[in-house]
């Protein structure tokens, strides 16, 4: 049976990096869920276990706020149903006290975060080879294999994002699905792309941008009959601000988000 792996990671860029590694290794179907905070991740793990769908491996960030990573680890180890669930923890810090505490609370492995894409690909390839193939763990119930996804269509996507790391990560993820990515760093540049390229079928729009922000770009699009009906997917690190002042869009994702869910949304909207 295919492994079910859950990632609990509070840093958006690192979550996207890890999801990209899974995709490049052809293991994206094994990444069952991604959470940005400890309580949500732990609740999902226990809920899925109660439903007979326990994960087979947890990748847990220890750099979460308010010691949440250690709380999740402690909660798993105290559970009679999940006390043997493999948990691999990682952190930017690597001092002896942190490592010792992680192992005392029941971590199965401690690794330092690799932020370089090449290093991360190598590190997680080896990690997954061991924990999902070489390691022999207790026999837990496994869900049936998921049905094959429907064939994917491809199209031109305008990605508007001023953060270079996020721009590169999302462009790579979208491109890996066969779509052509047009990049823009601000709203004014994006508007020029839209006016010059009638083949663009969908816009991924960061809300907070220099020069012309996402709100202003969306209003400019509405004033142009050719652009008004183009589907827009809004992404933002400022969730509260965008929810208080919504941008007219077909979908909305608060960073960090599941790249697989994000890509699925794009394709449902016609990318």
List the domain boundaries for the chain.
Answer: 5-134, 156-268
Which class in CATH covers the domain with range 5-134? alpha beta
Looking only at the bridges linking them, the beta strands covering 87-91 and 109-112 are parallel
pLDDT of residue 119: 86
pLDDT above 80: residue 270: no
Q: Averaged over 127-138, what is the pLDDT?
A: 78
Give the model confidence (pLDDT) of 64-98 as tens digits: 988 899 999 999 998 888 888 999 999 988 788 88
Average pLDDT for residues 214-240, to the nearest whole number? 93
Q: Report which secondary-structure segment, H or E, holds 120.
A: helix 117-129
pLDDT of residue 144: 47
Sheet containing strand 31-35, strands side by side: 31-35, 5-8, 57-61, 87-91, 109-112
User: Under DSSP, is residue 68 helix (H, G, I), strand (E, B) or coil?
Assistant: helix
Averaged pLDDT for residues 22-49: 90
Query: How does residue 245 score in pLDDT terms, banded at 50, 70 and 90?
Result: very high
**Residues near 176 by beta carbon (within 8 Å), at least 6 away in sequence:** 20, 23, 24
Q: 254 versus 1: which is more confidently predicted?
A: 254
**Quick one: which of 167, 165, 169 has its CA closest to 186?**
167
Please, which residues bridge with residue 206 across strands?
235
Averaged pLDDT for residues 251-262: 88
pLDDT band of 150, cuts 50, 70, 90 = low
Cis peptide before 256 (omega within 30 of 0): yes
Instruction: Round to whole Å and give the CA distance between 266 and 255.
Output: 16
* pLDDT of residue 3 exceeding 90: no
Taking alpha carbons only, the member of 250, 259, 241, 196 closest to residue 218 is: 250
Q: Please give the CATH topology (third level) of the domain spanning 156-268.
A: Rossmann fold (3.40.50)
Rank 89-103, 137-151, 200-214 by mean pLDDT and report only the highest: 200-214
Query: What is the model's pLDDT at position 6?
Result: 94
DSSP characters over 175-234:
HHTT-EEEEESSHHHHHHHHHH-TTEEEEEEESS-SSS-HHHHHHHHHTSHHHHTS-EEE
| pTM, to two decimals | 0.54
At 11 the three-state DSSP class reads coil
> What is the reported pLDDT for 211?
92
Structure tokens at 33: 């869920």
Question: Which residue's structure tokens are 């690909």?
Answer: 121
Whole-angstrom distance, CA of residue 17 vs CA of residue 115: 8
Query: Can you tell me the mean pLDDT for 122-144?
Result: 72
- Nearest Cα neighbor of 221 from 241, 249, 180, 245 is 249
- Domain 5-134 and domain 156-268 have a common topology: yes
132 is written with which tokens? Answer: 């999902």
């Amino acid at each position: 049976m295919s492994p079910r792996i859950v990632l609990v990671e509070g840093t958006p860029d690192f979550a996207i990096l890890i999801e990209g590694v899974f995709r490049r290794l052809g293991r994206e179907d094994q990444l069952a869920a991604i959470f940005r905070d400890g309580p949500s991740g732990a609740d999902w793990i226990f809920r899925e276990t109660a439903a007979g769908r326990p994960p087979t491996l947890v990748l847990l960030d220890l750099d979460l706020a308010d010691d949440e990573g250690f709380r999740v680890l402690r909660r798993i180890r105290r559970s009679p149903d999940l006390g043997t669930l493999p948990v691999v923890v990682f952190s930017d810090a690597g001092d002896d006290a942190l490592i010792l505490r992680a192992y005392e609370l029941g971590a199965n492995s401690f690794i330092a975060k690799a932020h370089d894409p090449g290093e991360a690909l190598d590190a997680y390839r080896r990690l997954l080879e061991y924990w999902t193939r070489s390691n022999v763990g207790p026999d837990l119930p496994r869900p049936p294999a998921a049905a094959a996804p429907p064939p994917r269509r491809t199209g031109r996507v305008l990605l508007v994002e001023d953060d270079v790391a996020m721009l590169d990560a999302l462009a790579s993820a979208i491109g890996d699905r066969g779509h052509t990515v047009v990049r823009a760093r601000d709203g004014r540049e994006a508007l020029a792309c839209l006016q010059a390229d009638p083949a663009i079928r969908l816009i991924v729009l960061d809300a907070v941008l220099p020069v012309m922000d996402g709100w202003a770009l969306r209003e400019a699009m509405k004033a142009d009959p050719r652009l008004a009906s183009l589907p827009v997917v809004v992404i933002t690190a400022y969730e509260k601000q965008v929810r208080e002042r919504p941008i007219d869009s077909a979908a909305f994702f608060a960073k960090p988000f599941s790249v697989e869910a994000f890509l699925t949304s794009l394709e449902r909207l016609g990318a």
